[in-house]
Structure 1
Amino acid sequence: MNRRATLAALLMVATMGLCAQKPMTAPAGGKAISDELIGIFFEDISSSADGGLYAELVQNGSFEYSPVERDGWGPGTFWRMIRPGHSTGWLEPRMDNSIHPNNPTYMRLHVERAKEYHDYRGWRGFGIQNDGFDGISVRDGKTYNFSAFFRNIDDKGKQIRIALVEPQMGWPPKDPKLLADTIININSKSWQKYEAALSVKEYSPKAVLQILVLDKGEIDVDMVSLIPQDTYKGHGMRTDLAEALAELQPKFMRFPGGCVVHGGGDGFWDTYRWKNTIGPKEQRKGLKNTWGYHQSMGLGFYEYFQFCEDLGMEPVPILPAGVSCQGANGGWNMWPTQAQDACPMEEMDEWVDEALDLIEWANGDPATSKWAKMRADAGHPAPFNLKYLGLGNEEKISPEFCERFKYIYERVTKAYPEIVIVGTAGPGSHANNPDFQNGWKLAEETGMPIIDEHYYEPRDYFLNKRQYDNYPRDRKTKVYLGEYAAKDKKLIDALAEGLYLLHVERNGDVVSMTSYAPLFAKKDATNWNPDLIYFDNQRTYLTCSYYIQQMFGQSAGQYYYGDCVKFEGDAPDACQPMENVHYGQSVVLNVKTRELFVKLCNASDETKTAHIDLSRFKTMKKPALRSYIIGQPDDENNYEAQPIFTKGETFKAEKKFDFQLKPYSMVMLRYKL
């Protein structure tokens, strides 16, 4: 296909759903399924937030890093003192008279001499330098918004030079390469926020930010920030990472975790509290991260909800349920016998209020609700229309957990019966797991609408098991497969996941939602493997599993047809993939967009002939579109593309035909009706 034809096909892909007619009537033979099957699960793991999706380029801009979070850390971590031109001075971390109690630490710069020693040297001043997250990547022609709070200590105003530079190595020492700079005049003796725009002249993958005081005296600095002007929809998310998520067409996003929900694993003192993540960023409270680093909360609940709105996703916030993670205080070494820390029952109303106030913040009227007014004051007067709320994350389903879950659940559902509560089935969702059994027992006792199952397994599990075929069809509680992945990132693992998702679609009357996990991982700061999207400061690396998820995200529908595709050699009634069969199919109809999707997966080493009969769909248009992924089973797409990915190839639509499904491939055919 030539470039012009490819662009035309991709344009057709982008506009097929936008040009939808009124909803159609589904032909006979279909089974109603969830059209929210594919979502995303965001957890701040592997530097997914700071240094990742959240586009902030300065690390430890609030000077709040601490040895409580990591040995050897302190307020000056990821900062260094600089004194070009033989300037002199010293740095003093302080906590008195700070901007806000939630951010008590700031840095005082004592400048003794700020003039250059040799007149011929152009650089001077005393100050600090931030190297960002393994360097600051800036692009030529782009503008970056700098901001910081400054306070002048003495009576004399001061000039401060803000510069983006690229250090120059070698001997004798050289002045850094100037990429952008500006001068700020500081006169206020109280904390004041100063802002400037830095327009970069030249690309650099390893720039640094310098703050240089050009006059003698003392000055305080806090909440240093550098964010590209070009963020996703102007809301502070890194554009390429956000676009990669948008192309998945997810129907919901679960956040903020994961184990992050329980805090840093040290007990209740550092449990994630959503109220500390909203409001002005200088008033937010940073937190030790479960995965061994600091969360600035620049990406907080307001940004999560706004991002869901930007991508058309349902927000699914998860709140703690009054017990700690069973991994806290070294509990993983003793699990499953380790008892959880549990909040005393007489203090449980605090955790109930966490849920009730969140609903009010998200959905309430600013005229009558203080929490809704906070949302409006932040820039979003309209409600976020929260529909789902998760309580707990894969806790051990102990008597302590059950008692506290019920306490919160009953009060939330009484106050807001319209909110759909998502419970948990514990850390391992298999039939022989006692937490799984207890989780489902709790679901039946409470009548919870959705239960969250998690499992990470070798690829053979996904290739050979079809567990939802055996689930009772009369349960009121639906399944959310909230965390899952095959334990590698080769093509065969992605195809195993694709085969399993065909099974999930077939059981879309039982399973209402799924999300692959983890979502993001920074290339050299990875806590968990595999992940869906890897990235560094310059680019993203989309895995094979990403393209499988993309196929399913783009093919949501309300009806499943199990008898439109038969594979040659199967028994007459074997139209569905069964256990230990490494190929399968799914036909899904979206009556809202009037689109039909045929997905075929072959994780075996033999070509499979599929007999396809779409005769019942009378209004099929021409042409249709074909997307596929194909390669060798051990191919990866981490850093060097190996399998072949295509999307948007046009072909002539037929209602009855045979399709040769090649080994180690997955294909999606997309029809307009």
Structure 2
Amino acid sequence: MPRNRKRLAGVAAVLVSLPLAAAPPVSASPVEPDYTITVGPAADGARLSRQQYGVFFEDINYAADGGLYAELVRNRSFEFDATDATGFTGLTAWTPSGSATVVNDDRRLNDRNRNYLKLTGSVTNAGYNSGIALKKGERYDFSIWARGTATVQVDVTGARPITIGVSGDSWRKYTGVVKAGATTDKGRLTVSTAGALSLDEISLFPHDTYKGRANGLREDLAEKIAALHPGFVRFPGGCLVNTGSMSSYDAASNYPRARAYQWKDTVGPVETRATNKNFWGYNQSYGLGYYEYFQFSEDIGAMPLPVLPALVTGCGQNKATVDEALLQRHIQDALDLIEFANGPVTSTWGKLRAQMGHPKPFGLTTVAVGNEENLPEEYWANFVKFEAAIKAKHPGFTVVSNSGPDDQGATFDNLWAKNKAHGTDMVDEHYYNSPAWFLQNNARYDSYDRNGPKVFLGEYASLDAKFANSLAEAAYMTGLERNADVVKMASYAPLLANIDNVQWKPDMIWFDNDESWGSTSYQMQKLFMNNVGDRVVPSAVSGGRVVQPKPITGAIGLSTWRTAATYDDVKVTRPDGTTIFSDDFGDGNADGWTPVQNRGAWTVIGGGYAQTTTDTEDTMVKAATITDTDYDYTLKATKQAGAEGFLVAFGIQDTGNFYWWNLGGWNNTQGAVEKGITSAKEQILTKPNTVTTGQTYDLKISVRGTKVTLYLDGQEWGSFDDNAVTEPFAQVVTTDAKTGELIVKVVNAQDTPATTTIDLGGRKVASTAKMTVLAGDPGEQNTRTAEPILPVTSTIKGVSSSFTREFPANSVTFLRIRTR
């Protein structure tokens, strides 16, 4: 995921639910339609694969520990520390009574499990969210590793205590079963000792995990994912994969924190898996590891698709590893992963898979190398080495490359050119954009080379969590299906979010410690995934309304991102030179400027307007609402210190809705024009760029309606025209050979109903059809307390080879029509 979007957080309040009216009948008399859908006579469009849609799991928003991974004890092995997050310690989530000391010495459980607890007295664990969730009458499996001689008493809220005798000076695992006496989401686990003991890996698991797997998954979350019927599972990330140190294990370093995700850290017995700093700001136990990912994929009938680090970091870090020996070790790790998944039980890694409980191969066929790398030359040099090694040993494997962090720009163009010339199997594209972008780009893949690499749309979402976003995504998905000969796989992202620990929004499935609910986009994805079909039937739509673009007007702004900078000689003029606004700060004040979010420290210094902090993100101030459609915005900018460069905003409509020219972004490696939507950013234009500290730059933003040209020190830096037409009506038709049905999928993402004639190309069809509709207020969200956007299925009558029906405002409708 691109770095600039990780700042999203929170869940909006519940909105008023609009009741879904009864489905309007098929029109019995001629009606002048708003739209006409004409379906071709033959099902000779693109073939749709079992992997057309899937899911992308990343350990973000506490998606693994405290989420999909069913372990109820937080910090079970006392490994948390300040490297993970400020304030974390070995006793985070634990409350001691008596003598409790976290120790790291040569008597630890093993070299990977560094810390253990010396205890005389008791410790109580608070679990995740409000506490440990328990259900009356259900069993919970307790286990602990201990050393010493004493009695351990285990108390779980509402349950009868259990007692375990510990003896011996060597580490041993002890187990017991607890039966909950009451239902609660605020439970606690207390472990008490009658004498001095050394303890580690204190665990409490629901006995009933998904499919009854040991070390398994939380049932409600796994079932919600399974209900999607995904064709693949992409894991384990994301930014999680290609951030942090790429170094290998060195016993002397005692497993350094903040290492890139490496699959070998995550397999074998859980007590031997090294915990690690998570890129998203917490600790990850690796209890949910590669074996569990493979097992879950198999359990839900999905293709596993692991993502491996390419030794080039992304997500704002933008560093490349040049250690050839380390590169070769990671390439060997990739080959070893394939052996772990597919190798015979007589092989080194196949034997470990069998020891973990799965002697049968998992049937891995596809791996991805890298994720959103923004250093195309360095990434490509490494990717081709990975690909060559994998193909040499496994010729039939699909090796997935990528095109960087965005839907366009210099990195995107560079990597796509390289992949196309090379003949790469598949290219992973990622983008998070506004609802308008998705409604404007339904035809994005129409022009892609049919003979070039195939597309894996590994991460995409509309930037918010309202039903309007889901409608825009649905409209876009009709274009993905229409181009299924190019777009072979697609997955919305991210998959999961713990409501109390959010680093990213929107997300598909939300949860706390005992409940879970699907967002409106979950309901939309589920509708599409369960009604894919097997082949596209060519169809066309005519008539209807489009939304024309508006000129770029609004306030101007200045901002910084972890950077101190000074701005001066700010001026806005009309094309004839008439001044609309001017401020050279010569009077010693900045009266015309107001803070947008009260961040940073702005002051007039030496005749310039300076933001002086270097640890604050997005310090925007604004001035002068511009109503002219044609104007020039000029200023001088000087970086004083810090990580990045300048953020010069224009077209500010309200908080979160604006454009800005980002120079020296992404740790001073890239420039871009970004469009703010609510509290996120959509990139319109990107190119490599750095800003020199102490150098003064002349900047000019020339706006002519919807067209913008940017000048850096008098030279044109770039331009764009934000003039795309928004099309709120979309459709696609597919067949389901197994059921003999046409599946007509119609998206009406506008506030008025759409009367539509559907011409089925002379086909003889049944007079009734099954109809499923998602509809409602575009501002609605599904939340913990209310899910107003849910599918409604009914049977409609009056269907024929040509019929007219009214599709509700702000709706998605799936018609399954049986052919004769």
Question: What TM-score, normalized to structure 2?
Answer: 0.69
C-alpha distance in 2 between matches for 1:90 and 1:524: 28
Q: Are the structure 2 counterparts of residues 231 and 560 from structure 1 closer, same or farther at C-alpha, using a change threshold of 3 Å? A: same
1:187 counterpart letter in structure 2 = S
Residue of structure 2 equivalent to 1:632: 777
1:296 counterpart letter in structure 2 = S
Secondary structure of the structure 2 residue equivalent to 1:32: coil
Residue of structure 1 equivalent to 2:297: 308
Shift of 1:62: 0.8
C-alpha distance in 1 between matches for 2:275 and 2:449: 45
Q: Are the structure 2 counterparts of residues 73 and 569 from structure 1 closer, same or farther at C-alpha, using a change threshold of 3 Å? A: closer
C-alpha distance in 1 between matches for 2:102 and 2:110: 18
Secondary structure of the structure 1 residue equivalent to 2:240: helix
Secondary structure of the structure 2 residue equivalent to 1:197: strand
Residue of structure 2 equivalent to 1:392: 370
Q: Is the 8 A contact 2:57 2:236 kept in 1?
A: yes
Secondary structure of the structure 1 residue equivalent to 2:59: coil
C-alpha distance in 1 between matches for 2:281 and 2:247: 15
* Comparing 637-646 and 506-515, the one that deviates more: 637-646
Residue of structure 1 equivalent to 2:5: none
C-alpha distance in 1 between matches for 2:100 and 2:323: 48
* Comparing 311-320 and 589-598, the one that deviates more: 589-598
Q: Is the 8 A contact 1:263 1:288 kept in 2?
A: no
Secondary structure of the structure 1 residue equivalent to 2:159: strand
Q: Does 1:283 align with 2:268?
A: no
Residue of structure 1 equivalent to 2:133: 137
Secondary structure of the structure 1 residue equivalent to 2:790: strand
Q: Is the 8 A contact 1:566 1:611 kept in 2?
A: no
Shift of 1:596: 3.2
Determine which of 60, 65, 69 is the counterpart of 1:54. 69
Shift of 1:670: 2.4
Residue of structure 1 equivalent to 2:791: 646
Residue of structure 1 equivalent to 2:45: 31
Determine which of 252, 259, 263 is the counterpart of 2:239. 259
Q: Does 1:659 align with 2:805?
A: yes
* Comparing 467-476 and 520-529, the one that deviates more: 467-476
Secondary structure of the structure 2 residue equivalent to 1:546: helix
Q: How does 1:560-639 map to 2 (within 5 A)?
A: 560-563=536-539, 566=541, 580-592=726-738, 594-614=740-760, 624-639=769-784
Q: Is the 8 A contact 2:450 2:486 kept in 1?
A: no
Residue of structure 2 equivalent to 1:297: 286
C-alpha distance in 2 between matches for 1:228 and 1:373: 28
Aligned residues: 589
Q: Are the structure 2 counterparts of residues 203 and 485 from structure 1 closer, same or farther at C-alpha, using a change threshold of 3 Å? A: same
Q: Is the 8 A contact 1:390 1:422 kept in 2?
A: yes
Q: Are the structure 2 counterparts of residues 60 and 672 from structure 1 closer, same or farther at C-alpha, using a change threshold of 3 Å? A: farther
Q: Is the 8 A contact 1:544 1:636 kept in 2?
A: yes
Residue of structure 2 equivalent to 1:69: 84
Shift of 1:184: 0.8
C-alpha distance in 1 between matches for 2:272 and 2:153: 26
Determine which of 146, 153, 156 is the counterpart of 1:150. 146
Shift of 1:100: 1.7
Q: Is the 8 A contact 2:42 2:537 kept in 1?
A: no
Secondary structure of the structure 2 residue equivalent to 1:37: coil
Residue of structure 2 equivalent to 1:182: 162
C-alpha distance in 2 between matches for 1:382 and 1:302: 13
2:164 counterpart letter in structure 1 = I
1:201 counterpart letter in structure 2 = G
Unaligned runs of 5+ in 2: 1-39, 249-255, 547-723
Q: Is the 8 A contact 1:423 1:443 kept in 2?
A: yes
Which digits, 9 at most, give the CA deviation of each residue in 1:467-501, with x for residues without a partner?
53443333330111111111111111110000000
C-alpha distance in 2 between matches for 1:451 and 1:592: 31
Secondary structure of the structure 2 residue equivalent to 1:382: coil
Q: Is the 8 A contact 2:56 2:233 kept in 1?
A: yes
Shift of 1:344: 1.9
Q: Is the 8 A contact 2:90 2:102 kept in 1?
A: no
Residue of structure 2 equivalent to 1:238: 218
2:186 counterpart letter in structure 1 = K
Residue of structure 1 equivalent to 2:113: 103
Q: Is the 8 A contact 1:601 1:667 kept in 2?
A: yes
Q: Are the structure 2 counterparts of residues 81 and 373 from structure 1 closer, same or farther at C-alpha, using a change threshold of 3 Å? A: same
Determine which of 164, 171, 174 is the counterpart of 1:191. 171
Which digits, 9 at most, give the CA deviation of each residue in 1:56-97, with x for residues without a partner?
110110111122222332211111113xxxxx5443423322
Determine which of 293, 303, 308 is the counterpart of 1:319. 308
Secondary structure of the structure 2 residue equivalent to 1:245: helix
Q: Does 1:443 align with 2:419?
A: yes
2:811 counterpart letter in structure 1 = S
C-alpha distance in 2 between matches for 1:520 and 1:501: 21
Determine which of 408, 413, 417 is the counterpart of 2:386. 408
C-alpha distance in 2 between matches for 1:458 and 1:449: 29
Shift of 1:354: 1.4
Residue of structure 1 equivalent to 2:59: 44
2:179 counterpart letter in structure 1 = S
Determine which of 236, 247, 253 is the counterpart of 2:227. 247
Secondary structure of the structure 1 residue equivalent to 2:76: coil
Residue of structure 2 equivalent to 1:163: 155
Shift of 1:615: 6.1
Which digits, 9 at most, give the CA deviation of each residue in 1:142-184, with x for residues without a partner?
11111111111xxxx422110112xxxxxxxxxxxx4332111
Residue of structure 2 equivalent to 1:345: 324
2:371 counterpart letter in structure 1 = N
Q: How does 1:502-521 map to 2 (within 5 A)?
A: 502-521=478-497
* Comparing 259-268 and 202-211, the one that deviates more: 259-268
C-alpha distance in 2 between matches for 1:595 and 1:146: 51
Residue of structure 2 equivalent to 1:479: 455
Q: Is the 8 A contact 2:226 2:300 kept in 1?
A: yes
Q: Are the structure 2 counterparts of residues 203 and 410 from structure 1 closer, same or farther at C-alpha, using a change threshold of 3 Å? A: same
Shift of 1:617: 5.7
Q: Are the structure 2 counterparts of residues 42 and 234 from structure 1 closer, same or farther at C-alpha, using a change threshold of 3 Å? A: same
Secondary structure of the structure 2 residue equivalent to 1:262: coil
Shift of 1:50: 0.2
Residue of structure 1 equivalent to 2:24: none
C-alpha distance in 1 between matches for 2:467 and 2:474: 10
Q: How does 1:491-506 map to 2 (within 5 A)?
A: 491-506=467-482
Which digits, 9 at most, give the CA deviation of each residue in 1:618-658, with x for residues without a partner?
5x668642211111121111334364423443344834322
Q: How does 1:368-379 map to 2 (within 5 A)?
A: 369-379=347-357
Which digits, 9 at most, give the CA deviation of each residue in 1:25-68, with x for residues without a partner?
x9724212332221110000010000001111101101111222
Residue of structure 1 equivalent to 2:261: 272
Question: What TM-score, normalized to structure 1?
Answer: 0.84
Q: Report which of the two has the higher share of strand.
A: 2
Q: Are the structure 2 counterparts of residues 210 and 458 from structure 1 closer, same or farther at C-alpha, using a change threshold of 3 Å? A: same
Residue of structure 2 equivalent to 1:118: none
Shift of 1:538: 1.8
Q: Does 1:219 align with 2:197?
A: yes
Which digits, 9 at most, give the CA deviation of each residue in 1:586-607, with x for residues without a partner?
1111324544322111001221
Which digits, 9 at most, give the CA deviation of each residue in 1:540-597, with x for residues without a partner?
121111111011100122211133x7566599xxxxxx95221111111132454432
Q: Are the structure 2 counterparts of residues 493 and 295 from structure 1 closer, same or farther at C-alpha, using a change threshold of 3 Å? A: same
Residue of structure 2 equivalent to 1:172: none
C-alpha distance in 2 between matches for 1:160 and 1:352: 46
Shift of 1:323: 1.7
C-alpha distance in 2 between matches for 1:641 and 1:92: 43
In angstroms, what is the RMSD of aligned CA positions? 2.2
C-alpha distance in 2 between matches for 1:442 and 1:463: 29
Q: Are the structure 2 counterparts of residues 344 and 606 from structure 1 closer, same or farther at C-alpha, using a change threshold of 3 Å? A: same
